[in-house]
Amino acid sequence: MKSLLKALFLSQLIWCNGVAQAEPRASGDLGLVIEREQGSVQIVNTSKNSALSRITELGDLSHASVVFSRDQRYAYVFGRDGGLSKIDIIQDKLEKRIVQAGNSIGGAISQDGRLIAVSNYTPGGVKIFSADTLEQLADIPAVYGDGQLSKVVGLADATGQRFVFSLFDADEIWIADAKNPREPQIQKFKNIGKQPYDALLTPDGRYYLAGLFGESGLAKLDMWQPEAGVQRVLPDYGKQDEKLPVYKMPHLQGWTNSGNWLFVPAVGQHEVLVIDRNNWQLLKRIPVAGQPVFVTARPDGRQVWINFAFPDNQRVQVLDVKDLSIIKTLEPGKAVLHMEFTPRGEAVWLAVRDDDRVMVYDTETLAETARLPADKPSGIFFASRANQLGL
């Protein structure tokens, strides 16, 4: 009789309100794959190389990016159509979606995880929302000149509950201190260089670097001492080189930092630039297979993986940081758009858009280890980003 009662008691633990309790899902090895043409995302598991579910009706995801809540439960998806979507990746559901602008280019989450900032092309500026409810808390129009609005690019979260971003049309960098999110304080830096097109924040959060499309070099802002102003890096790079058509703008965000070296895609050239952070001088120009788009360092900094614009976007090259040399050229398929390392760097996932698949490679052997079907995949974003500044 006692054994029967014990069995009945245990069965009650398995059932709650008449519904069987599934195995708990941890969030540390989860991520999202953007399916750009369908306006959907896949929730994936990076430990099992598997797809778990699909969330649909997310609007235009042609340039979508993602940030994660501190507890890694929620993913915030920034759509090109101004859509901001909050997804529960534990329960596989869309929590809320709003359309906050006409044309959006990315976003960031604050240091304390309570605020979401979105950078907009139309209307130009940044809006700040509650991460909990998606209530709008502030609107920061990117006004310059005689009342014009600039497209905003390169938005990143910084320490001190700040957001930093660049104004493409105004040639400016702004810092928004959002300690009081309803009344953010703005610090403006003007004449930083022509047409900043994207930016990165170094992993330690110290330096914000904006790439310049309208002239050579980068603009550097020391976030530890912004009062020192913006400094120029490599202002004379490439002035004597032949000007080539730019097939796709390089992307700087993704942390191309390894130790004291920065690895930067050269605009319109078949080169990756290595910059020494000790003196901010050019250490080396590395020839590569095409115009680089993403130049992304493995978490330990030993390797840098590079993908390319059309017509070379079927290739990916692997650079060994120890020797500053290309050690492997891979051809995963047609139109490799994005690369994302697993949290500790043993594998890298590649979005191969025109072959409708995601491919996984072992970063030691450089061998393919898995393929997952995906509908026109573009961005890949893992929940480990929740614990990193500037991503």
How far apart are the C-alpha atoms of 264 and 294, rounded to whole Å? 9
DSSP 105: E
Hey, what are 182's tokens?
Answer: 């309803």
Q: What is the per-residue pLDDT across 126-138, written as a single tens digit (0 to 9) for each?
A: 999 999 999 999 9
| Topology annotation, domain 249-331 | Thrombin, subunit H (2.40.10)
Give, in degrees to the nearest 5, the angle at Cα 231 between 228 and 233: 155
Distances (CA, A) of 313 to 19, 32, 354: 48, 22, 10
| Confidence (pLDDT) at 228 | 97
Output the six-digit token pair for 155. Answer: 């938005």
> Would you state the structure tokens that stand for residue 303, as one six-digit string?
């390797």
Q: Within the chain, which residues score under 50 in pLDDT?
A: 1-2, 4-21
Question: Tens digit of pLDDT for each residue in 153-177?
Answer: 999 999 999 999 999 999 999 999 9
Three-state secondary structure readout of the chain: CHHHHHHHHHHHHHEECCEECCCCCCCCCEEEEEECCCCEEEEEECCCCEEEEEECCCCCCCCCEEEECCCCCEEEEECCCCEEEEEECCCCEEEEEEECCCEEEEEEECCCCCEEEEEEEECCEEEEEECCCCCEEEEEECEECCCEECCEEEEEEECCCEEEEEECCCCEEEEEECCCCCCCEEEEEECCCCCEEEEEECCCCCEEEEEECCCCCEEEEECCCHHHCEEEECCCCCCCCCCCCCCCCCECCCCCEECCEEEEECCCCCEEEEEECCCCEEEEEEECCCCEEEEEECCCCCEEEEEECCCCCCCEEEEECCCCEEEEEECCCCCEEEEEECCCCCEEEEEEHHHCEEEEEECCCCCEEEEEECCCEEEEEEHHHHHCCCC
How far is Cα 112 from Cα 161, in angstroms, rounded to an integer? 7
The Cα 116–Cα 118 span in angstroms is 7
Report which DSSP code applies to 251.
Answer: B
pLDDT in tens, 248-262: 678 887 778 888 999
- Would you kindly state where each structural domain of the chain is located, as residue ranges? 249-331
